[in-house]
Amino acid sequence: MAINAPEGTRDLLPDEALFWERFKRTAADVFGRYGYVPIDTPIIEQTELFVRGIGEATDVVSKEMFTAISGANLAKLLDGEKLKAKSRLSLRPEGTAGTVRAVVQHDLVPQGAPPAKLMYAGPMFRAERPQKGRYRQFNQVGIECLGADDPTIDAEAIVMLMRFYAKMGMPAGAMRLLVNSMGCEKCRPAYRDAVRAYMEQHEGELCEDCRRRMDMNPLRAFDCKVPGCAQAMADAPKITDHLCDECLDHYGRVKALLCDAGVEYEEDPTLVRGLDYYTRTVFEVQVADGLGSQSAIGGGGRYDKLAEEVGGRPTPGFGFALGYERTMLALQEAGIAFPDARKVELFVACATDDVRDAAFRLAQECRDAGIATELDHQGRSLKSQFKLADKLRARFVVVLGPDELSQGLAKVRNMSSHEEQLVGIGEVPAVLKNAGL
Ligand code: HAM
């Protein structure tokens, strides 16, 4: 029986793989203008990093991590030995924890240094129930800025993300930008207590999960997809009524800067996000159509305590990640097509079999001159070679025939104007370059 890709994973076939390359290039181009430089961290990290960084009580950590055990460790485990913490490894469910770990480990933000502006792109892994727009291996492009808590960092990054979507061709009207502030260690505990007290009064209306999480993580109930919970939580206390003066001021500045940049947003005081590291600004970009409940194409926020959580000195941070697959589905919904992966400018055709070596040589010379060139590898007739050249959308075909070749000549045919000219075989690359290839 044929073996298929694992459930919840996707092959990026050539047209899409090419689109993913363009996606990453566009991100690097846009984010580079804001000072972001690449970082590439391991796909696998110590499980402990995610437990401490993202939070043990989050769905991502408690239910969705792929935890890996190497062969040697598995043997020890089967022998009844306990695994050391550093032998417990997990596939990264997101990129922030690993990036912050690298910043701390390599001291990328020494005292007095400007903020480290980092960007990454690559696969993330979450053992979620697969459906359209929700995969177990998916790609993110993300940025993290460490070392500054100024609201200009938050606003700049959100503006930059919206510029990226625009550059990819996403219509502004197809997206909603939701913003909120999660407060800080000073104001959030009292708010959390207020939400818990509210939930206790409405316990009968809440699902089992929310009732269970009420003590540890009551704010998660705002994220619950069970209709009864959403209804019950609609009248719960709002964080924005509980922010301390500093958080209120920070949030106000972020919103003012977004307004100033002409970026439209909606305030959503129930936006809490699914990861525990956030403080102050959080945001999400959602699309209206086509993705059902998987409507968030990107999101992020501020995490001023995360560096300390993973053992570093206090280093404020802000970042976001956008989901490539969901953004791609939304772009397709908006009518943006994949580019065609086949890129052939020139086809070298053989009139007879005895010129094949010369065709092989000429194709090589043309490629060395920078022209994307293809030739027949299956012994096709000349007619069928022309058909193939058409299919590959070659702009020119060079035909080698024994008579012309004996005089050192080749026939160059422009496939759109159908003009033909005989040129010296050594001149073919130059003639084609002159013609714009
Ligand atoms: P997140 O909201 O969990 O944030 O993920 C960011 C984006 O990744 C989502 O908006 C969504 O488009 C995509 N995504 C998440 N899970 C899946 C999935 N199972 N299948 C397909 N796409 C998915 C983070 O990951 C944070 N690290 C963002 C961040 C960076 N916050 C601060 N810095």
Per-residue pLDDT of the chain (437 residues; tens, 9 = 90+): 899 999 999 999 999 999 999 999 999 999 999 999 999 999 999 999 999 999 988 889 999 999 988 777 777 778 888 878 888 899 999 999 999 999 999 999 999 999 999 999 999 999 999 999 999 999 999 999 999 999 999 999 999 999 999 999 999 899 999 999 999 999 999 999 999 999 999 999 999 989 988 888 898 899 888 888 989 999 999 999 999 999 999 999 999 999 999 999 999 999 999 899 999 999 999 998 666 668 999 999 999 999 999 999 999 999 999 999 999 999 998 888 887 777 899 999 999 999 999 999 999 999 999 999 999 999 999 999 999 999 999 999 999 999 999 999 999 999 999 999 999 999 999 999 999 99
Please indicate whether residue 125, judged by its CB atom, sits closer than 6 Å to ligand 1.
no
Residue 48 tokens read as: 């402990």
Please indicate whether residue 324, judged by its CB atom, sits closer than 6 Å to ligand 1.
no
Question: d(Cα 369, Cα 391) in Å, to the nearest integer?
Answer: 23
Orientation angle between helical segments 151-168 and 245-260, nearest 10 degrees: 30
Pairing of strands 296-302, 175-181: unpaired
Contact (Cβ atoms closer than 8 angstroms) between residue 7 and residue 136: yes
DSSP code at position 134: B
Torsion of CA 132, 267, 187, 280, to 10 degrees: 60
Q: For residue 375, what is the enclosing H or E element?
A: strand 373-375
Contact (Cβ atoms closer than 8 angstroms) between residue 80 and residue 74: no
Please indicate whether residue 317, judged by its CB atom, sits closer than 6 Å to ligand 1.
no
Separation of 298 CA from ligand 1 center, angstroms? 6
Ligand 1, residues 94, 153, 277, 282: which to mutate, most atoms within 8 A of Cβ? Answer: 94
- Beta strand spans in 60-136 (E): 67-68, 89-91, 116-125
| Residue whose CA is at the smallest distance from ligand 1 atom 20 | 134
Q: How far is CA 28 from the centre of its chain?
A: 12
Torsion of CA 226, 229, 230, 235, to 10 degrees: 180
pTM over 0.85: yes
Cα distances from 70 to residues 47, 79, 90, 206, 280, in angstroms, run 13, 14, 11, 41, 39
Q: For residue 432, what is the enclosing H or E element?
A: helix 428-434
CB < 8 Å & 24+ apart, contacts of 299-304? 299/273, 300/142, 300/157, 301/154, 301/182, 301/273, 302/149, 302/154, 302/278, 303/96, 303/100, 303/277, 303/278, 303/279, 304/149, 304/184, 304/279, 304/280
| Residue whose CA is at the smallest distance from ligand 1 atom 30 | 320
Place of tokens 């404020």: 316
Ligand 1, residues 100, 139, 140, 223: which to mutate, most atoms within 8 A of Cβ? Answer: 140
Ligand 1 atom closest to 326 (CA): 12
User: Count of CB atoms within 10 A of residue 36's CB?
Assistant: 21
Separation of 149 CA from ligand 1 center, angstroms? 22
DSSP code at position 377: S
Please indicate whether residue 274, judged by its CB atom, sits closer than 6 Å to ligand 1.
yes
Ligand 1, residues 138, 220, 286, 303: which to mutate, most atoms within 8 A of Cβ? Answer: 138
Nearest residue to 353 via CA among 376, 386, 330, 331: 376
Separation of 94 CA from ligand 1 center, angstroms? 7
